[in-house]
Every structure is written in structure tokens, then in C-alpha cells.
Structure 1
Amino acid sequence: MITSVGLLRERRFLPLFVTQFLGAFNDNLFKNAMVFFATYEIFNSAEQETQFSAIATGIFILPFFLFSALAGQLADSFDKARIMRIIKAAEVLIMLVGATGIFLSNLPLMLVALVGMGVHSTFFGPIKYAIIPQHMQSHEVLGGTGLVEAGTYIAILCGTIAGGVLDPHMAAFAVVGVAMIGWLASLNIPPAPPLITLKIDYNIFRASYRLISATMHIRRLFLAIMAISVFWTIAAVLAVLFPPLVKNVFHAQKDVASVFLGIFSIGIAIGSVIINRLLKGNVSARYSPISVLAMSVFVLDFYWTASGWGAPGGPLQTHLAANGLPPIAALGEGDLLKTMELLEVAGAWRVLFDLGMIAITGGMFVVPLYAFLTTTVDKSQTSRTVAANNIVNSAFMVAGSVGIVGVTKAGVSVSNAILVVLVLCFASAFAAWRLYKAEKIPHGEEHLPGEEGA
């Protein structure tokens, strides 16, 4: 039996892993370079920075809502490996547009490229999960899914760090180069021919409605998709909050924002590996409820630390006074803390630990749920099932991004907005608990939500 890590030596998995890794890396290198550029070079208020971060997140997610149904149909109707190569070739062109925007310091052009990358990820997303059960044996699906998820978040870590530290011109060259390498890697993905012939519906709204209706009537799919959607809403809210939180609450430079996002990413990767070991290849939501409840504990501790960080007598004020530095109110843009300076503040390691544990427990929560999507239905339907999940996920994430902007515009501070995440954790735990209970119900006896016993 091949271990999950052993799959990385297999041609049926390694090219897929490398291709999706580089795609996730490029998404985050470009997106974070752009967001940090706007946060630290263009805008000068927490409200504007939060709004722009939300806009960037929203327009990247919007294509998932619009085009996932079409992406799922295409992926189930044609060779998945061939579609991947076309998508990766398109990424090269998109990144050329983005690189031009960076060189010209043209924010609208960069946003156009970001939309393009959202479309790219929309069509790539269903395939990267759906191709796994087609190339893997049944006992390898959870391990393969976990590796893809772990690889995605390691790539997010690397892309996030690179987006924060690279000179903009270097980032422009990098995104084009990485896109080209990703396309070359996709050429080695083994064929994955379609298992069914579909009549493709190009009306994206009708197709989306039909796809969701055809998927969500299966109880365990409904619960898995809802739990995943709430989880990604948490991730979207944190992604919106991190840049203004780091600058205005922790009074730190953008390299610290990169560290925050990076720790979150690597933590999910670690959680993905841990849960695969605990479940030993079995697809189950057994550990998902307790994982997200544990996550809520660390979210609460992170909130407590952030809310008191710059208060009179708080960690930052104490640090500034002890080092003969001016109080927070007198700090200028050039006085923002770098990573090593932040680590000298009492409580900084507690903040990083909380972030890491939020991410690890989040990874343990979400990976088995993705495995549900690809093992509950027939292999000929997996791409459309993942696509239906992506539509619902994207709707939740856009709502989360817009909602958190509304919360901050209503006068809630960036640190207090973290409490929104705490509420979402409890919603995720409830959905995961219902899913675990539904595992024991045979497929043929499942009912629509709210129709038990019908």
C-alpha cells in the first residue's frame, strides 16, 4: 500500500500536485503583492484598506459563483488533463496582463488580472479534486485530497511571503515565470477521459440552479457543502481583516501581514496531514466538530490579545515605554514594527501560536469534508459536485467579505470584528456534527434536509 506521501512519487499524482501547487502560489503572490501595495502605498485609513481588501477578495471569488457550473460540466465531459493544460496556458496570458499592471502601477489593470485569475481558479478547482478518485484507488482518496489541500496551503504560504517581500518589478517577472512552469508541469498529467457524455448548458444561471438542485438533495452532500462554505467564509473574513489588522491594531509593517497569512496557510497544511493520520484513510467527519470547536477557543484568545494590544498598559504601549519610544498616537508610517521587532513585544508569540492553532484545527476540519464530495457520488459526477460546492462556497465568501465591510463601516473596530469568526465557528461545528450523524444513514435512505421520515 502506498502511503499518502508516497503518492508524490507516482506519475498519476505528482504532476497534478505540482501544477495545482504553482497555481495556488501564483494566485497568492499576485493578490498579496497587489493588496499590500494598495494598503501601504495608496490608502491611509483602516476603513479604506478594509474596503479594498474586501473588493479584491470579492472580485477574485465572483467568477466561482458565475462559472462553476460550466466548469463542472466541461470537466465531466472532456479529458480533465487536457482541460488543465488549456487553463494553465491561459494563466500565462493573464499574468502577462497582471505584470503589465504592476510595471505601470496601474491598479485597475491589476484588478483585471485578478478577475482573470479568479476565472482560471474557477475552471481548475473542480478538476483538481475530481481527478483524484479517477487516478487513485479508494483507500488513497483521502490521502490524495489531504496532500492537495496541504500543498495548496504551503503554496499559499510561499506566495503570501513572496507577495510581501518581493520588489513589485520582481513580482511581475515571477508571476509570468511561475505560470509558464505550471503549464509545463500540466503536460505530464496522465489522461483522465470523461466517464459520461453531457449536453452542456451554457446558460450559467440556469446551469448553476440545476446543478445546485441536483446536488443538495443528498443529505450528506448538503451538510458537507454547508460546513465547507461556512469554513471558507471564516477564511475570507480573516483574509479581509489581516492587512488592516496588522497595520492598525498591531502597528506592524506588511512583512508581518505576510507572516500572519503564512502561518495560517502552513497551519492548514499541517492539519490536513494530521487528520489523514487520525482517520487512517477512512472518509469520516468524526473529528470535524471537535476540531472547529477547538478552533473557536483559539479565535477567542486571538481576539482578547488583539483587543488589548495597543490599549493603555497593553503589550505594545508597555514595549514602547520600556524602549523610550513615543506612544502609539505619535507613531508615524515609518515607525511601524517589522517582524523581529514585533516578536520582542510581550504576547507576540501567543498571537502567532493562536493563529497557528486556528489554522491547524481548520485543516483538520475541512479536509474530510472535501473527501466526502468526491466519494459520495459516482466518479462521472465528481467535477459537477465540486463545482456545486464552489458555487455555494463563493456565495458565502462574497457575503462574508461584504458583511465584514458592513460591520466595520457600522463602527465596529477591526479587532472586534474578529468576533464574527467566533460565531461562524459554532455554525460550522453544528453542520459538521449533523454530517457525522448522517454518515450512518445508507445512501438510499437519505432525505432532503427537513424531510426526515417523509
Structure 2
Amino acid sequence: MIPSFRLLGKRRFLPLFATQFLGAFNDNLFKQAMVLFATYSIYSDAKKEAAFNAIATGLFILPFFLLSALSGQLADSHDKARIVRIIKTAEIAIMIVGAAGLLFASVPLMLGAVLAMGAHSTFFGPIKYAILPQHLRRGEVLGGTGLVEAGTYIAILGGTILAGLIDPRLAAILVLAVAAIGWLTAREIPPAPASGESPPIDLHIIRASITLVSATMHIPRLFLAILSISFFWMIGAVLVIEFPPLVKNVFTADKQVASLFLAIFSIGVAIGSVLINRLLAGRVSARYAPASVIAMAGFVLLMTFAAHRWEPAADGILYSFRDFATHPDAPLVALALLGVSVTGGMFVVPLYAFLTTTVESDHTARTVAANNIVNSGAMVVGAVGAVTLAAVGVSVIQALTAVAVMCLGAAAISWRLHRACDGVRCSETM
């Protein structure tokens, strides 16, 4: 195995990495600018804030549920690099709509752009993972997957921080510029043609989705891996929805601190993504997944402990970034948040590599697409659950306790995957 960072000097990896990085940066710059605008300038009620965040999350997820089967079929039957270029052209048009929403403070336009970006990510998602085994050697796939995940969360970090620092009007200009740069980097991705003949594309999205998921989930090793990943994304959906109200209403801090939360989370996932590749030395394995997600549950509980200890600001006042940073309990909050994200990255990255290395090369995109369908369903469950809990009066702190319980479910499933597949040639036995 070559050290994973050396892949950044390879044309078979760098343009894809850059395209994904820029897309994730742009996506999160826009979404965070929109969420902060709604949380701090439109709404002044914790339930309404959680509901708006859940609606935005649901709109982003919806295309994954409806269009993933189509995206997987297209990616496995056409040149993946060519599809990426088409997707990146569409991103420019989407960001024109999103920029108009930010400039004119139009919630419908902003939510429309979120829905369209969900469709954009739906078609790009299977490709970014399926193209790796096609361009990288087997010993490089885990490292490449880890770099893609690390780069994604560093991009989330950059977009998240920037959204909290700049005016929405400047954000509108930047999302257009970044979309254009992403279109240029996409043109440098080497060809990735389909391997062999593929069956005709089924345009009936419901039937295609059912067929794809059933064809994938009946394989035990893929069922366990996809279910584990889905638990992770359900947990992530709840956390992303709860973070802004948690910062504003529990830690009584301003929008720059809300950006700091997502920034720390992004850094942690990036660290975990690279760290697990080092621990596994490039071997695709679920060995550390159960311990990682159990540790994640522990750090979530540490966050609830820190929230209970927190001394809020005076009525009507929000802590500034500096005030928050000098609060005596701020280090404990940061430690808990960093721990949640590092262990989360360590949990999920090997599972994605597992999906793309234990199936035939002409089925990788469809396998990832099936995973995305199930993941999106799990995220919808998480988003609906978060809104329901808020509606019946469950506090943000109590919702975090529920997240810790969900982590234990993920640990049980990933333990079954580890027992079934590690130490044997899983692809031959399951």
C-alpha cells in the first residue's frame, strides 16, 4: 500500500478529490448560510428553528430516496467521468437559484436550491465511491476512500466557517464562483468507462429502487454494512438538526459558535477518516467499528453532561465567540464534540470501502446507490424523530441521550459484520 497522501499527486485521484472537495464546500457554504439566516434572523423559537432545519434536511434527502436507483444504473452503464461533468454543469444552474434566494431573502428559492443540490449529490455520490476501485489499486482503495471522506469534512469545515463569517450577499457570489471552479476540475478526471454490458436502465424510479435495494440487501455482508452506515447517517441527521438550537438555546451562543460546532465536527471526522486507514494499514475491515461507535456514544453522553453543567448567558444575551471560548466548561464541550466526530469517522469510512471492494466492478455504483436509498430513509427517520421529539416537548439534551442509545444499535450490527467477515474472505463466504 502506498501512503494515502501520495494519491493527491496522481491524476487518477486528484481531479476527483478536488471536484468532490469543491462540491462539498459549496454545498455547505450555501446550506449553512441559509440555516444561520433562518435561525438567527427569521425565527426566535426553538421548535420553529428545529422544524425549519428538519424541513431543509428532508428536502436535501428526498432525491436520494427517489433517484438513487437511477443514479446507480447510469453510473454503472456510462462513463463516470462524463456524468460528473454533466453534474457539475447542473451545479452552476442550481447555485444561480440559490444565490438569488440569498440575495432576495427568499426562503422558497433557498429551499428549492437545497432540493436541487440533493439531486446533484444523489447522482454524484455513487460515482465518487465507485470510481475509486476503477482508478486505484486494491491496496489504495481504503486510503483513497479515507482521503475523500477527510477532504469532504474539511470542505464542510471551510464552508461552515465561512458561512458564519460573511454576509449572505457575499455567500451568493462565492457559491457561483466555486461551482464554476468545480466544473473546471471535473474536466480533468480521467475516463472511467463502464466495464462490460449493462442491462437496460429502468426509468420507473419506485420499481427500480425496490429492485435495487432487494437485490443488494439480500446479500448478508452488504445488508450488515449498509445497515451500519444507515445508523450512522440517522445519528448524523439528528445531530445536524439539533446543533443550531443546542448552541443558541442551551449554550446561549451566537451564530459564529454554531459554525464552530460544525467546524469541530468536520475536523474530527477528517481526523478519524485518516486515523482508521493508519490503524488498518489499508486493509478493508470492520474490526474497529463496534468500539468506535461505542466510544461515540460515550462522547455524546459527555456532551449532555457538559450541557447540564453549562451556565447560560444573561436573559436576552448570547455569548460571542470570545465569551464562549473563555467559558470554564468550553474545553469539555469541545472535547466531547471532537470525540463524537473522530470516532464517527473511524466507524463509517471502512464500511464505505467495504461496499466498493466486495462486489463486482460493474455493480459498485449500484451498490452505493442502494446504500444511499437506505441511508436516506434512515436520515428521514432521524429528521422526523428530531421534529417529533421537539414537538412533544423533549429537550435538546434529552434528544442527545437518544442519539447515544442509537449508537449502541450501530455497534451491535457492526459487531455482527466484523464477526462474519473479518478473518475470512468475506466476498466468498457471504
Q: TM-score range by the shorter chain?
A: over 0.9
- Residue 442 of structure 1 and its aligned partner are, at CA, apart by 4.5
Query: 2:146 & 2:54 partners in 1: Cα distance?
Result: 28
Query: 2:342 & 2:102 partners in 1: Cα distance?
Result: 34
Structure 2 partner of 1:18: 18
Structure 1 partner of 2:320: 338
Structure 2 partner of 1:353: 335
- Residue 150 of structure 1 and its aligned partner are, at CA, apart by 0.5
Equivalent pair of 1:271/1:364 in contact (CA under 8 Å): yes
- One-letter code of the match for 2:47? E
In the TM superposition, structure 1's runs of 4+ consecutive aligned residues that sit over 3 Å from their partners are 440-445
- How do residues 19-418 of structure 1 correspond to structure 2 at under 5 angstroms? 19-196=19-196, 197-309=198-310, 315-316=311-312, 328=314, 331-332=315-316, 335-418=317-400
- One-letter code of the match for 2:352? Y
Query: 1:68 & 1:338 partners in 2: Cα distance?
Result: 42
RMSD, aligned CA: 1.0
Q: 1:84-130 CA distances to partner (integer Å, 9 max, x unpaired)?
A: 00000000000001001111110101110110100000000000000
- One-letter code of the match for 1:351? V
Query: 1:357 & 1:202 partners in 2: Cα distance?
Result: 43
- Residue 308 of structure 1 and its aligned partner are, at CA, apart by 3.3
Query: 2:427 & 2:162 partners in 1: Cα distance?
Result: 45
Structure 2 partner of 1:429: 411
Q: 1:31-51 CA distances to partner (integer Å, 9 max, x unpaired)?
A: 110011000000010000010
Q: What TM-score does the superposition give when structure 1 sets the normalisation length?
A: 0.93
- Residues 1:419 and 2:420 are matched in the alignment: no
- Residue 3 of structure 1 and its aligned partner are, at CA, apart by 1.4
Query: 2:325 & 2:80 partners in 1: Cα distance?
Result: 46
Equivalent pair of 1:249/1:306 in contact (CA under 8 Å): yes
Query: 2:405 & 2:164 partners in 1: Cα distance?
Result: 30
Structure 2 partner of 1:312: none
Equivalent pair of 2:221/2:426 in contact (CA under 8 Å): no
Q: 1:11-66 CA distances to partner (integer Å, 9 max, x unpaired)?
A: 00000000000001111110110011000000010000010011111111111001
Equivalent pair of 1:307/1:416 in contact (CA under 8 Å): no
Q: Percent identical across equivalent pairs?
A: 61
- Residue 432 of structure 1 and its aligned partner are, at CA, apart by 0.7
- One-letter code of the match for 1:170? L
Taking a change above 3 Å as real, the CA distance of residues 5 and 441 of structure 1, as seen in their structure-2 partners, is closer
Taking a change above 3 Å as real, the CA distance of residues 35 and 433 of structure 1, as seen in their structure-2 partners, is same
**SS at structure 2 position matched to 1:274:** helix
Equivalent pair of 1:219/1:438 in contact (CA under 8 Å): no
Q: 1:203-229 CA distances to partner (integer Å, 9 max, x unpaired)?
A: 000000000011111111110100000
Query: 2:78 & 2:183 partners in 1: Cα distance?
Result: 18
Equivalent pair of 2:359/2:427 in contact (CA under 8 Å): no
- Residue 279 of structure 1 and its aligned partner are, at CA, apart by 0.3
The answer to which of 273-282 and 190-199 deviates more is 190-199
- Residue 408 of structure 1 and its aligned partner are, at CA, apart by 1.2
- One-letter code of the match for 2:102? I
**SS at structure 2 position matched to 1:195:** coil
- One-letter code of the match for 1:296? A
- Residue 166 of structure 1 and its aligned partner are, at CA, apart by 1.3
- Residue 443 of structure 1 and its aligned partner are, at CA, apart by 3.5
Equivalent pair of 2:300/2:404 in contact (CA under 8 Å): yes
- One-letter code of the match for 2:128? K
Equivalent pair of 1:134/1:379 in contact (CA under 8 Å): yes
Query: 1:444 & 1:169 partners in 2: Cα distance?
Result: 55
- One-letter code of the match for 1:168? P
Equivalent pair of 1:132/1:141 in contact (CA under 8 Å): yes
Query: 1:444 & 1:188 partners in 2: Cα distance?
Result: 36
Taking a change above 3 Å as real, the CA distance of residues 308 and 104 of structure 1, as seen in their structure-2 partners, is same
Equivalent pair of 1:50/1:240 in contact (CA under 8 Å): yes
Query: 1:399 & 1:442 partners in 2: Cα distance?
Result: 30
- Residue 158 of structure 1 and its aligned partner are, at CA, apart by 0.7
Query: 1:245 & 1:307 partners in 2: Cα distance?
Result: 12
- One-letter code of the match for 1:374? T
Query: 2:412 & 2:92 partners in 1: Cα distance?
Result: 42
Query: 2:133 & 2:420 partners in 1: Cα distance?
Result: 22
Equivalent pair of 1:146/1:276 in contact (CA under 8 Å): yes
Q: Point out where structure 2 has 5 or more consecutive residues left out of the alignment.
A: none
Equivalent pair of 2:309/2:329 in contact (CA under 8 Å): no
Q: Which has the larger radius of gyration?
A: 1
- One-letter code of the match for 2:45? S
What is the count of residue pairs matched by the alignment?
427
Query: 1:138 & 1:236 partners in 2: Cα distance?
Result: 32
**SS at structure 1 position matched to 2:125:** helix
Structure 2 partner of 1:5: 5
